[in-house]
Amino acid sequence: MKVCILGAGAWGLAIADLLSSNNCLVTVWEFDKIVCDSLEKERKLTSKLPGYTVPEAIKFTNDILSAVNDAEVIINAVPTQFIRSYFSKISKIDFSKKIIVNVSKGIEASTGKDIREMFITEFETVTDDNFVILAGPSFAIEVALYKTPTAVVAACKNIETADKVRDLFSSSYFRVYSTDDVIGVEIGGSIKNILAISAGMTEGLGLGNNSKAALLTRGLSEMIRFGTAMGGKRETFSGLSGIGDIILTCNSSLSRNWQVGNRLAKGEKLEEIIESMNMVAEGVETCRIVKKIAEEKNISMPIAFTVYELLFNGMSPRDGIAELMTREKKKED
């Protein structure tokens, strides 16, 4: 199987390693030619995957057109807000006999579209039959470097395609389940990043386990409300791309979004945090668009709305907690 991975970040390389070990012919496209040449020669990305060496079988290229045209499976590992920047370069590709697998998470800030919508509206030959989301609790360094037992879910409206991707990715340390709930899996992967920012804040403020348990439980309720309103299945949010991703991302300093919240709680400015990070924290822009959609659809999301105020309107973390704790009393939902 010929596979092209778009994006040579930590997750793109982890996926490349996995598929190469599954006997796929893997080419990774990197937009920055200097980085691309360095990866081809040095086989390392120390800033994002310290201690990891890229197998010699994995090839790198700066030519996206040839890489995509030659592949049977195309995996998008480019951060959500940068995906559209490369569309024009591959606009004439016929994707009808290819499978597109997205491993990025988030909602496009400028349009409010999820990644599936972006691809399907941009390319006539990308359809619900050949577009797949792969998501779940998985840190790149644990997959690439340590081969830690990991479980994720592949979602496609055509369950046969989801099953093909499940079989392609499955290995002795990487277990993949399949589902047809694309919307639910995408929403879970997006909302958990907002919750991770809030979880990092609770840690940064030195709050205890009671606070974290309350935050994650009520955060799951918000994920379910938003996800079902958008067309996802309620049961999906009890699975790997819902509560599974919450457990992982909201409890570890390896999470970029957790780091943003943690550093905000300690007094750093958002602009300084973003500038200093060498990877993208998707939850920041996702929070902006989720708030807009939730307001339009009248979806109650007090945690997400508070995170928005903390990120963009200068609210202090302690004021945010006070506001959440003194909201109008209600029945648990």
Active-site residue, selected from the candidate residues 113, 157, 192, 291? 192
Give the integer Cα–Cα distance in Å for 246 and 106: 14
| Class (C level, CATH) for 190-325 | mainly alpha
* Residue carrying the six token digits 């990043």: 193
Cα→Cα distances 218→79, 185, 215, 328, Å? 27, 19, 5, 15
Instruction: Answer yes or no: is pLDDT of 189 > 80.
Output: yes
* 51 vs 225: CA distance, rounded Å: 41
**What's the CA gap between 202 and 189, in Å, rounded?**
21
List, for residues 96-111, the tens digit of each pLDDT value. Answer: 999 999 999 999 989 9
Task: Using the Cα atoms of residue 232, residue 75, residue 139 and residue 302 in order, give the sign of their dihedral.
Answer: negative
Is pLDDT at 279 greater than 80 in this prediction? no
Instruction: Based on the residue annotation, tell me whether 192 is a catalytic residue of this protein.
Output: yes
Share of the chain above pLDDT 70, in %: 100
Over residues 190-217, mean pLDDT = 95
Nearest CA-CA partner of 66 in 99, 27, 97, 16:
27
Question: Does the model's pTM come out above 0.85?
Answer: yes
Query: Residue ranges of the domains in the chain?
Result: 2-180, 190-325
CB proximity list for 123: less than 8 A, separation 6 or greater:
87, 91, 93, 95
Question: Which of 163, 165, 135 lies closest to 151 in space, CA to CA?
Answer: 135
CATH superfamily of the 2-180 domain? NAD(P)-binding Rossmann-like Domain (3.40.50.720)
What are the backbone angles phi and psi of residue 99, rounded to the nearest 5°?
A: -110, 130
Taking only the tens place, the pLDDT of each residue in 144-184 is: 999 999 999 999 999 999 999 999 999 999 999 999 999 99
Task: List, for residues 18-70, the tens digit of each pLDDT value.
Answer: 999 999 999 999 999 999 999 999 999 999 999 999 999 999 999 999 999 99
CB 165 within 8 A of CB 132: yes
Mean pLDDT value of segment 279-289? 90
